[in-house]
Chain A
Amino acid sequence: AQTVTQSQPEMSVQEAETVTLSCTYDTSESNYYLFWYKQPPSRQMILVIRQEAYKQQNATENRFSVNFQKAAKSFSLKISDSQLGDTAMYFCAFLSHYGGSQGNLIFGKGTKLSVKP
């Protein structure tokens, strides 16, 4: 069974600085997808960035980028130029693509990020 581990329960960063959130996962599959979701306080979860395992190039979305290390099963999120609105819970998630079918996301326990002015 796949598992997702986020080893940093809480992190803080000063506004405008850069922060990296860690995520490791365990799977025996070769084809899968990885995601980072953001859940602001009392608001719904939204997708921040996604990565397809068969693509070696790291995904980038504006201030958000990932460091995907497939052999190490590591998928970290880097937030550059942190903004107050980045304060949220961040969840790393795994999605299997076994046999071409897809089902549920498997989430880590989350990292609570606080951006300080």
Chain B
Amino acid sequence: DTGVSQNPRHKITKRGQNVTFRCDPISEHNRLYWYRQTLGQGPEFLTYFQNEAQLEKSRLLSDRFSAERPKGSFSTLEIQRTEQGDSAMYLCASSFSSGGMDEQFFGPGTRLTVL
């Protein structure tokens, strides 16, 4: 297992188009997180899953954003009707929740550019 993977690594789209990103977590990890990172800022939380259940969503996650994690494995993040303000790096992380301090392992991110 080589860690958390994300595809695509880069996505350029025109305003108004829909985009979908995929995250494959470390195989034994039951938690999966999505963050957004804009230039010069730290990552901001969007949502997270425990297995297939979406347990928390940030107010940053507008109704144009939807995330799924079918069968508790990989996850997808879809942005509908993209806007220029959606341009950012989208990071995925995974962890194994054991009741203690989860270490979140991050993927390389998907850089979205909305023209």
Contact residues of A with B, CB < 8 Å?
Answer: 4, 33, 37, 43-47, 50, 52, 91, 93, 95, 97, 100, 102-110
Contacts and interface: CB of A to CB of B under 8 A. Distances in A.
Given A106-B45, A107-B44, A108-B42, A46 B101 contact: no
Given A97-B101, A109-B42, 17 more contacts: A33-B101, A37-B106, A44-B107, A45-B43, A47-B105, A52-B101, A91-B42, A93-B42, A95-B101, A100-B99, A102-B101, A104-B33, A104-B35, A104-B48, A107-B43, A108-B42, A110-B42
**How extensive is the interface on chain B, given as a class?**
20 to 34
Interface string B87-104: 000010000010101111
A interface majority secondary structure:
strand
Contacts, number: 56
A37 to B, nearest CB: 8
